[in-house]
Amino acid sequence: MNGADALIETLIDNDVVACFANPGTSEMQFVSALDRQPRMRPVLCLFEGVATGAADGYGRMAGKPACTLLHLGPGYGNGLANLHNARRAFTPIINVIGDHATYHQKYDAPLASDIHAIAGANSVWLKSAASADEVSALAAEAITASYGPPGGSASLVLPADTAWSPTNATGGKASRPAKAAAPASTIEEVARRIRAAAKPVILLGTGACNEAALQAAGRIAETGVRVLSDGFIGRLPRGAGRFAPDRMMYFAEMAVADLAGVDLMVLTEAKPPVAFFAYPDKPSVLAPEGCETLPLASLAEDGAAALSAIADLLGAPRAPSVQPLKLPAAAPTGALNPAAVGLAMAHHLPEGAIVSDDSVTAGQSILNATRTGRPHDWLGLTGGAIGQGIPVAVGAAVAAPGRKVVSLNGDGAAMYTVQGLWTLAREGLDVTVVIFANNAYRILGIELGRTGAGNPGPAASKLLGLGEPAIDWVNLAKGLGVPATRCETAEAFDAAFARAMAEPGPKLIEAVVP
């Protein structure tokens, strides 16, 4: 047994059984060791941003980490943006980062760089193995760290000689630390303050959006207290039978108006909400003036239990407020736009579907339309780094076989990690990729005005538009092995989406929208 064997055995023994990989020379021992460990599922990704995004999607759905296999500092760099998103989703991930052999590092070979600096910003844990004997224990430590709470990506740097050298040191055991209970005194104080407030609201962060937390929040909603969630949630169970918190508005002035008169905001595994971006003469903070923010459960505490206790203290009924099943009365017709896509999705999205959302400006229409749809999970763009829609869908499909996955993407966003289409084909994953083809970074046209930069002139227009040449998504997908259709009307999209929901396997639908 060598260090690579010890690593994979430790990962598997601690239930890390999927590996999203884009290996290089320094990772060859790990690759070879996979041949001796059939319990680990290796998934090749043709770019590291696909591998890290897939690990994020896997972790969100499986509730346990997958590992990535990345090639030194540049390989981690390629995967950095989706690890940024994963950090904001608190997703447990194990990054195995190959490195030069320990004795080779002093020579500053061409691929050498400061991995610790590059990987530090998005890792909850980051260590390098100094010998093969250390690998198993460090892997266990990494897995434990990835669970948090809150979770995050743990990065284990594996110098090539620590992988190829023999070792007998195995058996590292990870643990999964439980979230601490919020103190009873805090819970009682929050309940008292809610009762005393004129217009209290409760804000749920990603950690407080699991089924149990939503159930408790839905009970509280029955007492007349408004419940909101952060704008972007790692995994939000939605649809019929679930409580649907309102979504925090994206633009600060809208959020402040929406929350007018609110004097108390109770934070449940959430930070005080702030604007995604600052704009001249617009507020940074989303709570209105005079509104106090009061933590109920920190990011490391059990928000669901705390909410349940609050519901009891407020005398809430046992049954939460939930959404009815209410599908659109008719299929969409006429012009194709995000609202029509939303109607078609609400019609055809099967129970248990998973939606990976990187649709930027189109997303709100789909959220609105599917609010009372069949129960599903919605995976949001937590960190704002576009390019997670396809990769997260890859990982979700690996984590949840038997569930239909729909990946919603702005065309600009999808181009970031378009390589993920190939992995959908390679693995035969049951993912339908929808591209909102508006031939533009549409959001930036809006943002240009909001930042006080005025209307786009010729140079600016050139940087915001994707139309010259228009991307031909059908050929692009075909080139990567995924069958694709282009839809220009609501009827065509409805039919294509219905077909995609009825048949298994990867598909791409280019939705031509304004």
What residues from 159 to 188 belong to the interface with its own copies (CB under 8 A)? 160-161, 164
For its own copies, the closer CB: 31 or 492: 31
11, 34, 55, 94: which one contacts its own copies (CB under 8 A)?
A: 34
Answer yes or no whether residue 42 interacts with its own copies by CB under 8 A. Answer: yes
Answer yes or no whether residue 191 interacts with its own copies by CB under 8 A. Answer: no
Q: List beta partners, residue 156.
A: 96, 127
294, 314, 474, 495: which one contacts its own copies (CB under 8 A)?
A: 474
Percent of the chain that is helix, strand, coil (3-state, to 5): 40, 20, 40
Answer yes or no whether residue 12 interacts with its own copies by CB under 8 A. Answer: no
Answer yes or no whether residue 155 interacts with its own copies by CB under 8 A. Answer: no
Answer yes or no whether residue 1 interacts with its own copies by CB under 8 A. Answer: no
Answer yes or no whether residue 477 interacts with its own copies by CB under 8 A. Answer: yes
Q: How far is the CB of 250 from its own copies (least distance, A)?
A: 11
Answer yes or no whether residue 104 interacts with its own copies by CB under 8 A. Answer: yes
User: Judged by CB under 8 A, which stretch of 95-103, 312-320, 347-355, 365-373 contacts its own copies?
Assistant: 95-103
For its own copies, the closer CB: 183 or 479: 479
CA atoms of 480 and 42, how far apart (whole Å): 19
> Do 182 and 189 touch, CB atoms closer than 8 A?
no
For its own copies, the closer CB: 215 or 382: 382
CA nearest neighbour of 108 among 76, 72, 75, 80: 72
- Amino acid in the structure at residue 456: P
Report the first-to-last Cα separation within the chain, whole angstroms.
58
Q: Is 219 exposed, middle or buried (0-12, 13-18, 19+ CB in 10 A)?
A: buried
3, 57, 65, 73: which one contacts its own copies (CB under 8 A)?
A: 73
7, 13, 14, 23: which one contacts its own copies (CB under 8 A)?
A: 23
How many CB atoms within 10 Å of residue 460?
15
User: Judged by CB under 8 A, which stretch of 198-206, 212-220, 365-373, 414-422 contacts its own copies?
Assistant: 414-422
**Considering only residues 238-267, where is the footprint of its own copies by CB under 8 A?**
none
**Considering only residues 372-411, where is the footprint of its own copies by CB under 8 A?**
382-385, 387
Q: How far is the CB of 45 from its own copies (least distance, A)?
A: 10
**How many residues lie near its own copies (CB under 8 A)?**
105
Instruction: Assign residue 505 a region (left: φ > 0; alpha: ψ between -120 and 50; beta: otherwise).
Output: left
User: Judged by CB under 8 A, which stretch of 117-125, 189-197, 318-326, 397-405 contacts its own copies?
Assistant: 117-125
Measured CA distances, 51 to 33, 212, 277, 381, 482 (Å) = 19, 30, 28, 16, 18
Answer yes or no whether residue 319 interacts with its own copies by CB under 8 A. Answer: no
User: Judged by CB under 8 A, which stretch of 23-31, 211-219, 315-323, 333-341 contacts its own copies?
Assistant: 23-31
3-state secondary structure of 285: strand
For its own copies, the closer CB: 317 or 428: 428
For its own copies, the closer CB: 114 or 402: 114
Answer yes or no whether residue 21 interacts with its own copies by CB under 8 A. Answer: yes
169, 274, 322, 327: which one contacts its own copies (CB under 8 A)?
A: 274
CB under 8 Å to 194, separation ≥6 — which residues? Answer: 200, 202, 225, 264, 266, 310, 314
CA nearest neighbour of 85 among 220, 235, 208: 235
CA atoms of 217 and 308, how far apart (whole Å): 7
236, 471, 487, 513: which one contacts its own copies (CB under 8 A)?
A: 471
271, 325, 326, 514: which one contacts its own copies (CB under 8 A)?
A: 271
Q: How far is the CB of 424 from its own copies (least distance, A)?
A: 10
For its own copies, the closer CB: 339 or 444: 444
For its own copies, the closer CB: 220 or 286: 286
120, 166, 183, 315: which one contacts its own copies (CB under 8 A)?
A: 120
> Do 52 and 20 touch, CB atoms closer than 8 A?
yes
Q: Which helix (H) or strand (E) holds 153?
A: strand 153-159
3-state secondary structure of 265: strand
CA atoms of 376 and 373, how far apart (whole Å): 8
147, 232, 378, 436: which one contacts its own copies (CB under 8 A)?
A: 232
How many CB atoms within 10 Å of residue 324?
7
For its own copies, the closer CB: 171 or 479: 479
Answer yes or no whether residue 80 interacts with its own copies by CB under 8 A. Answer: yes
CA atoms of 395 and 403, how far apart (whole Å): 12
Answer yes or no whether residue 28 interacts with its own copies by CB under 8 A. Answer: yes
Answer yes or no whether residue 77 interacts with its own copies by CB under 8 A. Answer: yes
User: Judged by CB under 8 A, which stretch of 176-184, 234-242, 273-281, 340-348 contacts its own copies?
Assistant: 273-281
Using H for helix, E for strand and C for coil, what is the string for 205-247?
A: CHHHCCHHHHHHHHHHHCCCCEEEECCCCCCEEECCCCCCCEE
User: Judged by CB under 8 A, which stretch of 199-207, 259-267, 331-339, 450-458 contacts its own copies?
Assistant: 450-458
CA atoms of 209 and 272, how far apart (whole Å): 16
User: Judged by CB under 8 A, which stretch of 207-215, 325-333, 402-410, 462-470 contacts its own copies?
Assistant: 462-470
3-state secondary structure of 121: coil
Answer yes or no whether residue 90 interacts with its own copies by CB under 8 A. Answer: no
Give ∠ CA 40-159-5 in degrees, rounded to 5: 30
